[in-house]
């Protein structure tokens, strides 16, 4: 009989994107970079997001880039977003390109590419805040922090981050994947041991206790991480989170009583797999 822990770990691995899955989407990078530099002027363009962090989800994660624009930062982030969209639409006239704050999304046939416009500041990059206005971020330092945490407990931080992201996508929860990743890593950062079933429950419980409130940047460098982009999204996410906590707690209790069949049943309901 398969244990609940073994099932959860096996399921987590099955959602890891293949090394070549996003090669097509990434193949557009050079043309995107050339066009934005010619049209708007850029300092650099580099990969960010879950694929870069090693926490991407099969069929859901995009190829994400931050493009550092030259010139003065406009008052409204929509100016930068619309300028990037217009430039890319000019280069790719037959591709659907939309603004999904904080990014411009290019829906190529071989995969989506998200381009986040940013401006260099004395500390990090200023990028559009999903809730409005601008925010400061340090994506490279965040990646380093997650990697440092992940070195402990046999890579638990990224395993746990991937599990809560599976829940997000399978249960259509309108919550930031970056927020979930940081919350998962923060949980592991305070633990001395790792049990997949228990720690999944504890992470959902902490999210519920925090009521999906904004999270301080664990590096101490940037703006706070927000979970949702609107009050309506937050209410929807909280409702689904309450259900998740109930299922995760039942899975944990069944697991503790060595009823692995029932524990796996609750984990399947939790993750929507």
Residues 184 and 81 in one domain: no
Quick check: bond before 102 cis, omega within 30? yes
Q: Which residues of the chain have pLDDT under 70?
A: 21, 51-53
Q: Comparing C-alpha atoms, which of 68, 77, 76 is closest to residue 118?
A: 68
**Residue 268 structure tokens:** 């399947």
User: Do 223 and 154 share a domain, yes or no?
Assistant: yes
pLDDT of res. 61: 76
- 131 and 167 in a single domain? The answer is no
Based on the domain organization, do 147 and 266 belong to the same domain? yes
Q: Quote the pTM value.
A: 0.91
Residue range(s) defining the domain that contains residue 116: 23-136
Q: Which of 80, 104, 136 is the last residue of a domain?
A: 136
pLDDT of residue 93: 97
State pLDDT tens for residues 13-58.
Answer: 999 887 776 777 778 999 999 999 999 999 999 998 776 667 888 8
Q: What is the pLDDT of residue 155?
A: 94
**pLDDT for position 52:** 66
Do 209 and 267 have their domain in common?
Answer: yes
151 and 34 inside one domain: no
Residues 53 and 159 in one domain: no
CATH of the domain at 164: 1.10.1410
Helices (H), ranges, the chain: 4-14, 23-26, 29-39, 49-53, 77-91, 139-150, 156-170, 177-189, 196-209, 231-256, 260-271
- Based on the fold, state whether residues 189 and 72 are members of the same structural domain: no
Write down the pLDDT at residue 221.
87
Same domain flag for 192 and 84 = no
Q: Is 49 left (phi over 0), alpha (psi -120 to 50) or beta?
A: left
Residue 111 confidence (pLDDT) = 83
Residues making up the chain, counted from first to last: 273
Q: Could you give the number of structural domains in the chain? A: 2
Domain boundary among 96, 119, 136: 136
pLDDT of residue 21: 67
Q: Which of 94, 110, 136 is where one domain is finished?
A: 136
Beta-bridged to residue 98, according to DSSP, are 105
pLDDT tens across 86-115, in order?
999 999 999 999 999 899 999 998 888 999
Same domain assignment for residues 74 and 157: no
99 and 117 share one domain = yes
Which residues, in sequence order, are CB contacts of 130 under 8 Å at separation 6+? Answer: 101, 102, 176, 226, 229
């Amino acid at each position: 009989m398969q244990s609940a822990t073994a099932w959860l770990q096996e399921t987590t691995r099955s959602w890891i994107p293949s090394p070549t899955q996003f090669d097509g989407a990434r193949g557009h990078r050079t043309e995107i970079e050339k066009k934005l530099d010619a049209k708007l002027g850029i300092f650099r363009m580099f990969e960010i997001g879950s694929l870069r962090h090693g926490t991407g989800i099969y069929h859901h994660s995009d190829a994400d880039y931050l493009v550092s624009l030259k010139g003065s930062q406009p008052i409204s982030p929509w100016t930068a977003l619309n300028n990037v969209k217009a430039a890319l639409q000019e280069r790719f006239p037959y591709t659907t390109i939309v603004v999904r704050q904080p990014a411009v999304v290019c829906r190529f046939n071989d995969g989506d590419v998200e381009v986040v416009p940013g401006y260099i500041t004395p500390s990090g990059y200023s990028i559009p805040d999903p809730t409005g206005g601008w925010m400061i971020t340090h994506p490279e330092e965040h990646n380093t922090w997650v990697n440092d945490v992940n070195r402990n407990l046999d890579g638990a931080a990224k395993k746990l981050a991937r599990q809560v992201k599976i829940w997000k996508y399978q249960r259509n929860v309108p919550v930031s994947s970056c927020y979930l990743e940081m919350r998962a890593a923060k949980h592991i950062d305070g633990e001395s041991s790792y049990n997949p079933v228990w720690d999944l429950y504890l992470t959902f419980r902490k999210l519920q206790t925090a009521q999906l409130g904004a999270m301080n940047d664990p590096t101490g460098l940037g703006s706070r991480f927000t979970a949702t982009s609107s009050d309506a999204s937050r209410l929807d996410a909280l409702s689904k989170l309450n259900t998740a906590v109930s299922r995760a707690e039942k899975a944990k209790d069944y697991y503790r009583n060595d009823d692995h069949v029932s524990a796996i049943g609750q984990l399947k309901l939790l993750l929507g797999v």
